[in-house]
Amino acid sequence: MPIFANPAYDTAHLLDTFVLVLSFALLYQRRLFAMITLYAWQAFFLAAAAAWQAYAQDAPHLYITAAIALVFKAIVIPLALHRIIIYLDIHRSIETALGIGPTMAVGVGLVALSILLVLPVTAASGALTRESLAAALSVVLLGLLMMITRRNAVSQVVGFMSLENGLILAAVGVKGMPLVVELSVAFSVMVAFIIFGVFFFHIRERFDTLDVHDMEQFRGEGR
């Protein structure tokens, strides 16, 4: 098959694309459980991308990154979020601060921005590095966008986690990223997740809701 002439490049590309498309799917999704499932899939493809890079670059430490992504992000965190949602009995449709359509349009703008940013910086490196860096930066920016446009605290956390997926995607795409950095990122995310979990309970205890809009009103900032 002439179409698969360069499998290392093509497979990495394919996995990057899946992660990016799932970022858009996260922006598009309105239901809490479906969003968490999408997040789990994104983490799964991230793990696959890391494992593929470990194989293609012959860098065994990336297998550890892949394993961390698979176990924690694709299985443990989604299950924990599921349990939190059921336990707290959260309203399961998401209110958005901006409509879905405009959000997606802003998302495409962010992808264009990240490409414009990555192109001049990486002029010397190969197309693979450039494309995966562009995709990874887009995932980071889309995660930020999701945190901005969602009113529900759980979906903001999912946005944060997906942002972190983008960071890992950037890290595995570039040769020579030390394992220590990745491990520290992974652990800081775990810590952040635990803190978020504690916050969920406190916010809920005090305000009876996880809609951050109500908190703004309480502080006298809201409309």
Interface residues toward other proteins, by CB under 8 A: 1-6, 9-11, 13-14, 16-17, 20-21, 24, 28, 100-101, 104-105, 107-108, 111-112, 115, 118-119, 127, 130-131, 134-135
Q: State in angstroms the smallest separation of the CB of 117 from other proteins.
A: 11
At closest approach, how far in Å is the CB of 7 from other proteins?
9
| Shortest Cβ 127–other proteins spacing (Å) | 5
Beta bridge partners of 152: 211
Q: Can you list the alpha helix ranges (DSSP code H) found in 58-178?
A: 61-68, 77-88, 100-121, 127-149, 153-173
Shortest Å, Cβ 38 to other proteins? 13
Cα(13)–Cα(6) distance, integer angstroms: 11
- Cα torsion through 144, 146, 149, 152, rounded to 10: -120
Nearer to other proteins, 1 or 180 (CB): 1
Closer residue to other proteins in complex, CB, 20/68: 20
Closest CA to 192 of 217, 222, 167: 167
Grouping H, G, I as helix, E, B as strand and the rest as coil, residue 221 is: coil
Closest separation between CB of residue 119 and other proteins, Å? 6
Nearer to other proteins, 11 or 209 (CB): 11
Please say which residue, 127 or 181, places its beta carbon nearer to other proteins.
Answer: 127
Label residues 133-172 b or e (16+ Cβ within 10 Å = b). bbbbbbbbbbbbbbbebbbbbbbbbbbbbbbbbbbbbbbb
Nearest to other proteins of 115, 190 (CB atom)? 115
